[in-house]
């Protein structure tokens, strides 16, 4: 099963990174967004990231400036942006990375099922929802997988490849090979809530927020404790800002609704309050911390 052309839907925090690593690996990429402003923002992020990588290569003496600029332009040249779903019709693989809302995702997969060629592989980057439900919505459950990349996609080395009971073995193998081609380490997962990483990570983040809520420690001390006590690259509150408070809330709300008896799935009130106040983390400039672009202010 040969993958050459890849459609990425949603060019936000995750989608822009997936588009970039796919293009870096030689795939032809079509990035779809809902409106021109969001598309320009996503493509702008890719431009800045490629420029960063290129200048690092020059600094390290690995490439000349001319070679680095050439690499960057060639990679960017493989990515086109669109607002039209029809432009994804001939993609061999479509990776969805839109808002964490199952109804919206199902609606999108239903449309994709009518627009894309018969052998297109469908993948979702969802953090928490059942892949099988999206496969059912698409009308092609055997061609549906989860391809769960990690944030920031350019730097994190893992991709979880999720198979449902109905995923065709060849489709699963092709999706896994795509992850490897993007220079990620793939792990195979069943279609369970949060797969491997988020089943462990999101309850941990939720516990940290509840700790802050109770006043057990300051946010700085909770973060420092996990950084210096456990060697995590960032503490749980910084990480929640990094992931997006809206996305974290959507994950937990979905789980609490589906699995009300699972004690590990709890929604901290502070998370609801921050999201209601529009404090979504790094992407909105403030969450638990204030952000200046990609760095903490
Ligand atoms: N594009 C290009 N280059 C980038 C970049 C980007 N987007 N972001 C950073 N870089 C470069 C930097 O310029 C820097 O280069 P040099 O080392 O050559 O100077 C290098 O990459 C490292 O960047 P930072 O200095 O910002 O790096 P750091 O050491 O502070 O590490 C980090 C940043 C990799 C994000 C690290 O803090 C980390 O691993 N954090 C944890 C992230 C994590 O847990 N992610 C998972 C979230 S959960 C999830 O994704 C699943 C879900 O469904 C919610
Ligand atoms: P985001 O809010 O940064 O980006 C979502 C993008 O999708 C936005 O740019 C929005 O304009 C676009 N969009 C929404 N509906 C659309 C539609 N119908 N058609 C086209 N574009 C549409 O969100 P994100 O953090 O990139 O998350 C995207 C997905 O990836 C979610 O399912 C999330 O759970 C998952 N995920 C997130 C992270 C993370 O750390 N943020 C990590 C792994 C997986």
CATH number at residue 143: 3.40.50.720
Q: For residue 256, what are the domain limits?
A: 198-284
153 part of a folded domain = yes
Q: Point out which residues pair with 135 in neighbouring strands.
A: none
pLDDT, one tens digit per residue, over 187-235 is 999 999 999 999 999 999 999 999 999 999 999 999 999 999 999 999 9
Task: Say yes or no: 74 and 99 in one domain.
Answer: yes
Cβ-contact 240, 209 below 8 angstroms: yes
Pocket of ligand 2 (CB under 6 A): 9-15, 32-34, 38, 97-100, 108, 125-127, 150-151, 243-244, 247, 283
* In a shared domain, residues 21 and 123: yes
- 114 and 210 both lie in a single domain: no
Testing ligand 2's pocket by substitution, the residue of 9, 13, 242, 278 carrying the most ligand atoms inside 8 A of its CB is 13
How far apart CA 101 and CA 126 sit, in angstroms, is: 9
Q: Identify which of 162, 156, 165, 164 has the alpha carbon closest to the alpha carbon of residue 175.
A: 162
Check whether residue 43 and residue 163 sit in a common domain. Answer: yes
Ligand 1 contact via 239 beta carbon (within 6 Å): yes
- Whether residue 198 lies in the annotated active site: yes
The secondary element (H helix, E strand) that includes residue 82 is strand 79-82
Tell me how far the alpha carbon of residue 120 lies from the centroid of ligand 1, in angstroms: 31
| Residue 181 · residue 2 · CB < 8 Å | no
148 belongs to the catalytic site: yes
What distance in Å separates the CA atoms of residue 123 and residue 293, rounded to the nearest whole number? 30
5 within 8 A of 87, measured Cβ to Cβ: no
- Are residues 104 and 248 located together in one domain of the fold? no
The DSSP string of 149-199 is: E-SSTTT--EEEEEE-TT--HHHHHHHHHHHHHTT-EEEEEES-TTTTHHH
Q: What is the pLDDT of residues 23-73, one digit of tens each?
A: 999 999 999 999 999 999 999 999 999 999 999 999 999 999 999 999 999
Which CATH number goes with the domain that contains 270? 1.10.1040.10
Q: Whose atoms come closest to the Cα of 243: which ligand?
A: 2
Q: Cα(63) to centroid of ligand 2, in Å?
A: 33
**pLDDT at 294 exceeding the cut of 90:** no
Give the bridge partners for 8, in sequence order.
31, 95
Q: How far is CA 191 from the centre of its chain?
A: 17
160 is catalytic: yes
133 catalytic? Reply is no
Residue nearest to atom 29 of ligand 2 (CA): 97
Residue that is last in its domain, among 131, 160, 190:
190
Tens-digit pLDDT profile for residues 222-279: 999 999 999 999 999 999 999 999 999 999 999 999 999 999 999 999 999 999 999 9
pLDDT score, position 1:
74
Residue 143 · residue 171 · CB < 8 Å: yes
Task: Identify whether residues 102 and 122 lie together within a single domain.
Answer: yes
Q: Phi and psi at residue 192, in whole multiples of 5°?
A: -115, 160
Burial of 53 (0-12, 13-18, 19+ CB in 10 A): middle
Give the pLDDT confidence of 89-121 residue by residue, as tens digits.
999 999 999 999 999 999 999 999 999 999 999
Ligand in nearest proximity to the CA of 55: 1
pLDDT score at 187: 98
162 and 79 fall within a common domain: yes
Is residue 296 one of the residues assigned to a domain? no
Selected catalytic residue, list 72, 160, 206, 286: 160
89 inside domain: yes
Of residues 198, 199, 175, 200, the one with CA closest to residue 188: 175
67, 119: one domain: yes
**C-alpha to C-alpha distance for 255 and 230, rounded to whole angstroms:** 27
- Asked if 203 and 269 sit in the same domain, the reply is yes
Token pair for 178: 């795509």
Question: How many domains does the structure of the chain reveal?
Answer: 2
On whether residue 292 sits in a domain, the answer given is no
The rounded distance, in Å, linking the Cα atoms of 187 and 200 is 15
């Amino acid at each position: 099963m040969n993958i050459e052309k890849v459609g990425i839907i949603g060019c936000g925090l995750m989608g822009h990174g997936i588009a970039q690593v796919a293009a870096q690996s030689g795939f032809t990429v079509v990035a779809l967004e809902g409106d021109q402003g969001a598309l320009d923002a996503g493509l702008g992020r890719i431009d800045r990231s490629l420029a960063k990588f290129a200048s690092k290569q020059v600094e390290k003496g690995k490439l000349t400036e001319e070679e680095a600029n050439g690499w960057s332009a060639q990679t960017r040249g493989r990515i086109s942006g669109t607002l039209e779903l029809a432009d994804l019709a001939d993609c061999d693989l479509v990776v969805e990375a839109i808002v964490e809302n199952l109804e919206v995702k199902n609606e999108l997969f239903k449309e994709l099922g009518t627009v894309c060629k018969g052998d297109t592989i469908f993948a979702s980057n969802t953090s928490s929802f059942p892949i099988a439900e999206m496969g059912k919505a698409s009308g092609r459950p055997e061609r549906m997988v989860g391809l769960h990349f990690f944030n920031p996609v350019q730097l994190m080395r893992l991709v979880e490849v999720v198979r449902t009971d109905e995923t065709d073995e060849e489709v699963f193998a092709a999706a896994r090979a795509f992850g490897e081609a993007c220079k990620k380490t793939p792990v195979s997962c069943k279609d369970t809530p949060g797969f491997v990483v988020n089943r462990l990570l999101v309850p941990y983040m939720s516990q940290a927020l509840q700790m802050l809520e109770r006043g057990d420690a300051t946010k700085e001390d909770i973060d420092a404790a996990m950084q210096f006590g456990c060697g995590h690259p960032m503490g749980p509150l910084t990480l929640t800002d990094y992931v997006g408070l809206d996305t974290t809330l959507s994950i937990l709300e979905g789980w609490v609704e589906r699995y009300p008896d699972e004690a590990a799935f709890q929604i901290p009130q502070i998370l609801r309050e921050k999201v209601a106040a529009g404090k979504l983390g790094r992407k909105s400039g403030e969450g638990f911390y204030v952000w200046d672009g990609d760095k903490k202010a």
